[in-house]
Amino acid sequence: GLILIRNIPKTKWSLFYLPEGPVLDPNYSRNVVDWLTPLRDFAKSAGAFNLKLGPQITINTWDASTIKNAISDNVYKKLKDVDPDRVNPFGNEIGTKLRNLGGKQIETDGEGFGDVQPRFVFTIDVAGKTDEELLASFSQEWRRNIKKAEKSEVKVRQASFTDLETFHTLYVETAVRDKFTPRPLNYFKQMWESLNVNSNELAEMRLYLAEQENICHAACLWVRVGKHVWYTYGASSTSGRELRPSNAIQWQMMKDARDAGANIYDMRGIAATLNEKSPLFGLLRFKIGTGGKVIQYVGEWDFVFKPFIYKAFRIALARRG
């Protein structure tokens, strides 16, 4: 697993973080004590006040149709209240073992995405599917919006490194509108250079722009590692929404994921809320229109070695927003 180390200024302590890790051999991951103990001991001896990890082990899966029915019933307010279509007992077993070994999980109220990495993600199986088969799984609204974008002459293109500035301008506009802190342009430049080094066949990053009459209305980053493609960052302008550029750009990225040999197109996190009045509900509604599925992972766990430092760190994060 990759360990990211964040030093706390003016102290000797650090946060050790394994984003979506460690990656575990399915035949070995059940032996939690065997892989967790040396990892925890290493972090503690190296000056960590907290070890945060989140292996991508599935707990529950809901099909889009199940979620749509739950929303129509107008009874359920949170996704966890809806019976999943598939349950992975092994995932629940891992979660129980992590808790019994001292793991602390930051619980959300059902409105958020999780702690750092999303606990609930939305994915679409694209391997071997024709355009017609993919479209058939979409909602009528999604198909209508794709046609509207085409009639409005919205053009989606795969852009270049120099177009990252266009993406970032739109991304900052999105951040102001949706009230989150944007990453700097250099972050995305470094991301591009790291993933596209030497035309690596294992991994790549692409930038897509949705434009009409040379005006960019939506921009997205597409990342492939092996057979998995992620929609990692998205941005859109307030003007031009009626042209449905977001539907057009997602449709193109999905097809390109399939053509690149991917099995999965991952639209990343959703909120766990089914409350239509929640400001986060629109994201779920947008994604389930593609007919994929929601996956719940075991989530992220904290193994705290210095409770006082940990508490102060959490307070500082909360104040920063």
Give CA–CA dist 275/279, Å, rounded: 9
Each of the 321 residues of the chain gets a pLDDT tens digit; together they read: 899 999 998 899 999 999 999 988 777 667 888 899 999 999 999 999 999 999 999 999 999 999 999 999 989 999 999 999 999 988 888 999 999 999 999 865 555 566 789 999 999 999 999 999 999 999 999 999 999 999 999 999 999 999 999 999 999 999 999 988 899 999 999 999 999 987 667 899 999 999 999 999 999 999 999 999 999 999 999 999 999 999 999 999 999 999 999 999 999 999 889 999 988 899 999 999 999 999 999 999 999 999 999 999 999 887 775
173 neighbors 237 (Cβ within 8 angstroms): yes
Instruction: Please write the tens of the pLDDT for every residue from 198-235.
Output: 766 789 999 999 999 999 999 999 999 999 999 999 99
pLDDT attached to residue 26: 72
Instruction: Please write the tens of the pLDDT for every residue from 248-294.
Output: 999 999 999 999 999 999 999 998 899 999 888 999 999 999 999 99
Residue 219's alpha-carbon distances to 13, 24, 142, 216, in angstroms, are 39, 34, 18, 7
Q: Exposure of 64 by Cβ count < 10 A (0-12 exposed, 13-18 middle, 19+ buried)?
A: buried
User: Domain 56-89+105-297 adopts which CATH fold?
Assistant: Aminopeptidase (3.40.630)
Give CA–CA dist 48/69, Å, rounded: 45
Q: Give which of 124, 120, 145, 122 is closest to 133, Cα–Cα.
A: 124
